[in-house]
């Protein structure tokens, strides 16, 4: 069990060190989401529509599409440099590679969101820190990373991986996006924690189902 978590940590640490050197994942996620939110900020006239009616959709569309950019790079280095075979030769279960890559993708998304969410609050004249929204953001990002990592490995084996990834990823996470947009509307409005928790249960169910399913499917995807 110790070796299991040590290997996951080693994969995560390798991805973090590589990202600090290249800035290939975190920067595209942040820049794309920031530009999207900025454009929508100028598209709506202040006071014409209640903020909680459109701002959650803007936020999560920006983060979801920005996440696709990050996921497209999750296995790109290993595939382009021929390192994927090295990972497959490691004397560990293949799902360990999945969990390591998933945790890395989650960390990159969370780091970008730590910067994006305060800017989002400033643009739309909201409190800088909204605890309910932060909780929703964490568990939604977990769902994105769970699904995105699996489809990143799958699309890495295709020629048009930049096209295949959003085609595979976005339809699957639509229920997650709908749930978190509804939860964000409550978080930005007058929704109570009890109402937020009812939506969080759906998000957690999504996360758990796809976490288990993806970890079981991943070894076969890696073989292809």
Q: What is the pTM of this model?
A: 0.87
Among residues 43, 48, 50, 34, the alpha carbon closest in space to that of 185 is found at 50
Per-residue pLDDT tens for 26-84?
A: 777 788 888 888 887 777 765 666 766 778 888 888 888 888 887 877 777 666 666 66
Nearest 5 degrees, angle CA 76-CA 25-CA 204? 95
Taking the C-alpha atoms of residue 5 and residue 96, their distance in angstroms, rounded to an integer, is 8
Q: What is the mean pLDDT of the chain?
A: 81
Written as one string, the DSSP assignment of 88-137 is HHSSS-HHHHHHHHHHHHHHHHHHHHHHHHHHHHHHTT--S--HHHHHHH
Per-residue pLDDT tens for 144-194?
A: 999 998 888 888 777 766 778 888 888 999 999 999 999 988 888 777 888
Taking the C-alpha atoms of residue 31 and residue 105, their distance in angstroms, rounded to an integer, is 16
Residues 6+ apart with CB under 8 A from 200: 135, 136, 139, 183
CB 176 within 8 A of CB 206: yes
Per-residue pLDDT tens for 75-113?
A: 776 666 666 666 666 666 778 888 888 998 898 888 888
Nearest 5 degrees, angle CA 184-CA 36-CA 108? 70
Encoding tokens for residue 12? 């995560």
Taking the C-alpha atoms of residue 140 and residue 126, their distance in angstroms, rounded to an integer, is 20
């Amino acid at each position: 069990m110790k070796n299991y978590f040590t290997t996951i940590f080693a994969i995560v640490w390798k991805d973090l060190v590589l990202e600090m050197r290249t800035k290939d994942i975190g920067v595209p996620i942040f820049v794309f989401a920031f530009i999207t939110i900025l454009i929508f900020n100028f598209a709506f006239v202040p006071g014409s529509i209640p903020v909680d009616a459109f701002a959650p959709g803007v936020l999560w569309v920006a983060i979801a599409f920005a996440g696709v950019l990050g996921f497209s790079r999750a296995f790109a280095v290993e595939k382009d440099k021929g390192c994927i075979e090295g990972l497959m030769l490691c004397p560990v279960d293949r799902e360990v590679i999945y969990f390591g890559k998933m945790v890395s993708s989650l960390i990159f998304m969370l780091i970008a969101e730590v910067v994006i969410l305060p800017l989002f609050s400033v643009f739309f004249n909201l409190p800088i820190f909204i605890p309910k929204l932060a909780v929703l953001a964490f568990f939604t990002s977990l769902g994105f990373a769970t699904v995105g990592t699996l489809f990143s490995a799958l699309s890495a084996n295709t020629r048009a991986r930049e096209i295949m990834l959003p085609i595979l990823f976005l339809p699957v996470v639509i229920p997650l996006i709908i749930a978190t947009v509804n939860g964000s509307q409550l978080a930005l409005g007058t929704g109570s924690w009890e109402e937020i928790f009812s939506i969080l249960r759906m998000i957690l169910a999504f996360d758990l189902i796809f976490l288990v399913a993806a970890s079981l499917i991943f070894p076969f995807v890696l073989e292809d």
